[in-house]
Structures are given as C-alpha cells and as structure tokens.
Structure 1
Amino acid sequence: MVEKNHKGRDVRMLCSLLSVSKSGFYAWRNREESERRKHDRLLTDAIVELHQGFRKAYGARRVHQQPKRSGLSCSVRRVSRLMKTVGIKASSRGLYTWNPGKHKFYSATGNQLGGEDPAVSVGTQWAGDFTYIKTVAGWLYHAVVIDLYTRSVVGWSFSRKRNSELTKSALKMALARQRPQAGCIFHSDQGIEYAAHEYRELVESAGMRRSMNRKGNPLDNAIVESFFHSMKTELVHQRLFENEIDAVAHIIEYIEFYNRERIHSSLGYQSPLEYEKMAA
C-alpha cells in the first residue's frame, strides 16, 4: 500500500509539473498505438528489407519509390527520417564528400577482382559484406567473409552496431580459421565499414590486396549477396527471432549447414566442404 501511495504521489507531481490532469495522464498511458506509429513501424520494416534488397545502394529518394508501388503511402522526408532512425543510408553516400580530416580515416580503392579470372584455389579470393537481421528485440547486423573458390563462409560476426568493428571481427575470424595465400584479393563494397583505414591495415597486414565494387555496381559482390539471399530465404524469413541470442544461434547453425551440407549448382552440386576436399 505504501508503494502504491508513493507511486500515486509521483504521478501527481509529474502531472503538476506538466500541467496535465491525472485522468489525462492515464488515458495517454493506456492509449493504443496510433495509426501513424503503426504505419511508421510497417514502413520501417519495409524500408530495411528494401534497402538490403537493393544491396544497400539506394538512398531515401530511390527507396521511397517501392513502398508507394506496394501501396504504403509515404513521402521522401518520412522515408529519410525512418532510415535515420534505424541508422541506414546508401552505401556510397559521403565517401567522396569533402569534409576536413575525413580522408585521414577513410579511403576507397578500385575493383581488382573484376580484372581477375575466377578463383582457381582456396585462399586466393575472399569477399565480405554485412546484412540486417530483424528480431523482436531490435535489429542485428551480421557480417561474413566468403572464400570465392569454395563458396565457404570462413568468418562471421554479429553486432548491434554498424561499424568497422563488425567487419573487422568477421575478417579476424576468417584469418584465424583459414590463412589466405599471399596476394589474396579481399573484395567488398565501398561502405565506410570497409573503407576505414584500420580495416585497410588489417587486410594489408594479412598480405592481401584490397578490392571494392565499382560505384553503382553492387553486383560486383554477387557471391556474398547470393549467400545472404539463401540465408534469408531458407532461414530468416521462415521464423521470427526473439532476440539477438536466438538469431545468432540459428544463423551459426545455418552457416554450418551451408558449408558442410548445402549443395551448390556452381560447385557441381557439391557442398563447399566436399568441393574443397575434392580440390585438395
């Protein structure tokens, strides 16, 4: 009873400070989610999925077009606001905008992979990227590193934050599990998560060469995009993860299945592990 009275005094004090009535406060607290908030939530989910589907290449103006075609009314300004809320933007945005001191921390490079023949052995061509995973508790970022010869996922990481630590962790795991050959190409998009100088230093210290998508050509990294498409089709879109622990556990289980059991038409209908053993 004492606790109840204490809470009552807190509510009265709060209402007095805000110049509102107690009945108004309780009506606000018990009010159902507004139609605008419901619409924002639906739009946010659609925007995140669309942004990933466009290989993170589209900004607010282009992302805005698809919800309209699907019957979700929205303005460019509203899409831009919701994109900022969940921390997503076009992958190339801001890389080449002049900003004092910025290029001290970030730099891009050319597409070295485009001038090479397809990989002919393990550890000669790697590629990395990351994606968004929806959970009941919020969004989770998932980065991978794939050996382009075997299509095997050799490194991965998860984080609530989108930054170079996410992508560095995946590469560090890959380097611990499978040593690349000298001069191995490491390919990625032009996002700042891969353009950061600390990431470049990690790649170069491992004896690898950096390579990035051509501007406006996200399909340069098609093999990693194909993995994410398979993972989302076969796992992520089939269930709703309760939280990040639930998501991480199931995704790691899927990666093990993908590497050891899932057959690939591009590998002669063998799994990455089988293909690697055949090539050894």
Structure 2
Amino acid sequence: MVDQIRADQAQLPKSKRYKIGDILKAVGLKKATYHDERKRINNHQDKYADLKIQIKKITDNGKYRGRLTYGYRRVQTELVKLHIRVADTVTRRLMSELGVQVSLYNRHRNGKYSSYRGKVGQVSPNLLKQDFCQSQPYKTLHTDVTQVRLKNQKWAYISAITDEASKEVLAFQISNSPNRDLITKTLDGLIAKLPTNAKPIIHSDQGWQYQLNYYTQKLSDNSFIQSMSRKGNCHDNAPIESFFHVYKTECLAGFPPCKDLTELKTVSEEYIYWFNHQRISLKTKGMSPCEYREHTLAA
C-alpha cells in the first residue's frame, strides 16, 4: 500500500508529495519494518527458475514440426533422468506458467478405414485376447491399414507394423490403394528388418487382405504366427490403433493436407524416424522405441 501511494504521488510536483516518514506514520507502519520488507522483496528469487529452464529444454526437445508433444508425465520422466524430483502438481503448474502444455490429443481424428469384407479366406484365432503385456522385442507385432485424405480429396492408404514391446515402427508403406501390393511391401519391409531368428506373432484385424492365401502363405513361409482380432472389435488391436492416432495427431493434424503421395511419404518418413529414435514413452520406461529395444536385448 505504501509503495502504491508513492507511485501515485510520483505524478505530482515534488512540493505536493508526502515524505515517506509521513506516509508510514499515517498507515501505522514502522520505518524499519517497511525497509526490511522492501529488501526482502527486492532480493526474492524464483526458487523454480532453474527447474523452469530444464522443463523448457525438455519440452523443446519433444517438439515435432514445431509443436509440443510432451505432456507432464513425460516431462516428469525426463526430469528423473536428470536426478530432479518434484511433485506432479508442481510440474503441471510450471508448464502452465511457461505455456508449454499439450492440447493435441483430445481432438477427434477422422479417416478410419475398415477393410472388413466378411469371411473371404482363412480367419485365425485371437491369440492375444487383449493381453498386451509383451516386454520382449520381436515377439508380438501388430499390423493394420488406415487412410489419410490428400489435398486433392483422394485417399492415401497406410500399412504399418509395430512392435508391441518397444512400440517401434518396423514397417511402414503408403499407397493409393489398400491392395495386395501394399500389404506385400509392408511384409517385405518387416522381413528385411527382423533378425533371422525372430518368429513373432503378427496380429491383425479380420481385414480381407489378411485372410487371403498370399498373406497367410507368406507368414507361414517365414515361420510367423498369425493372430486375428474378433470381428469388428478395434480394442483387440489397440496398440496399432494407438500408433495411428498418435501419427495422425502429431504428424498431420493442424497442417495443410499433403498435396500428393510423394509429399505424404516424405513427411511420414521423417516422422517415423523421429518416433523410433527420439520420442520417449512412459510405456517404454522413458526411452525411445529404439533405445528400449537395444537396452532390452542387451540385458
């Protein structure tokens, strides 16, 4: 209050201003108390100043295409790596003060593709039954197809295979049709990347592509084990559904649609590399997919 009175008087001529002693006497405040409080305020430092710097660095490192992707849980995980332990509420409050909160993931994404055409070939049993607890890489893989609309309003179709344990994207192909060639190229990309001794379960939905002989025979030729979701149950293949949601949210949402397949491939390849090598996840103990795979296989 005293400082406010002094500030108001600063607009007046000196001859009409009250002395500080007169003001203190009027408000009943001791001079020593006033000067002690002013000194304390002037010497006050933000005790979270260093922590704010670290939080800003972490969230900047978690940016993709200039946008924030790290929520407070992932920020907490990175702080622990730096031997900084602080309450969740503090981290959330400081992120709010810094303006580095994430708001991408609550938006609904369209472009869901359904390849179900009934029983057109061989339907395999559901070996996983929503038990997504695999911790060893190359043991359980998930595959599916989704679609993305291009600038010319045509659809691009994306086929991917992810590792349940590491979350690593092991194969990723884009085409203008969800045809046999797309699925075959996806499998070829997977086979080229897998260790020769890997014989994983490959889990998909009951899409027509995954029922036909060319697909089931290729799995058999490589000693892969086929598993399928129940009819019309997306939760049975939740890991790949989750990846597609994150991919569309972080890589594509909020930006102008890609003008053609070539641009979409370029943007997607950059994202997949970042996702595999840099993007940390709580599900992989705060490591990127590749870090988790290397760490686990070396143990």
Question: TM-score, normalised to structure 2's length?
Answer: 0.59
CA distance in 2, matches of 1:117, 1:94: 26
Please give the per-residue CA displacement for 1:182-218, whole angstroms capped at 9, x wherever unaligned: 5420100100111111001111111111000012321
CA contact (8 A) 2:169 2:276 kept: yes
Question: When the two structures are aligned, how many residues end up with a matched partner?
Answer: 187
Task: Point out 4+ residue stretches in structure 1 off by more than 6 angstroms.
Answer: none
Question: What is the correspondence of 1:1-280 to structure 2 with a 5 Å cutoff?
Answer: 50=110, 52=112, 56=113, 90-95=114-119, 106-114=121-129, 118-137=133-152, 138-179=154-195, 181=197, 183-239=199-255, 240-279=257-296, 280=298
Shift of 1:94: 2.8
Distance 1:236 1:120 in 2: 29
Q: Give distance in 2, aligned partners of 1:175 and 1:183.
A: 10
| Rg larger in structure | 2
CA contact (8 A) 2:172 2:186 kept: yes
Question: Which amino acid letter does the alignment assign opposite residue 258 of structure 1?
Answer: F
Indicate the residue corresponding to 2:50 in structure 1: none
Seen in structure 2, the aligned counterparts of structure 1 residues 141 and 190 have a Cα distance that, compared at 3 Å, is same
> What secondary structure, in the 3-state scheme, does the structure 1 residue paired with 2:160 have?
strand
- Over aligned residue pairs, what C-alpha RMSD do you find? 1.9
Q: Counterpart amino acid of 1:255?
A: I
Q: Deviations over 1:16-57 (max 9, x none)?
A: xxxxxxxxxxxxxxxxxxxxxxxxxxxxxxxxx6461xxx4x
Q: Give CA deviations for 1:61-115 in whole Å, capped at 9, x if unaligned.
A: xxxxxxxxxxxxxxxxxxxxxxxxxxxxx443332xxxxxxx5xx2111101228
- Matched-pair identity in %: 28
Q: Which amino acid aligns with 2:156?
A: L
> Unaligned 5+ residue runs, structure 1?
1-48, 57-89, 96-102
| SS state at 2:129 partner | helix
TM-score, normalised with respect to structure 1? 0.62
| Structure 1 residues 50 and 134: CA distance shift in structure 2, 3 A | closer
Distance 1:182 1:257 in 2: 25
Asked if the contact 1:113/1:185 (under 8 Å) is kept, the reply is no
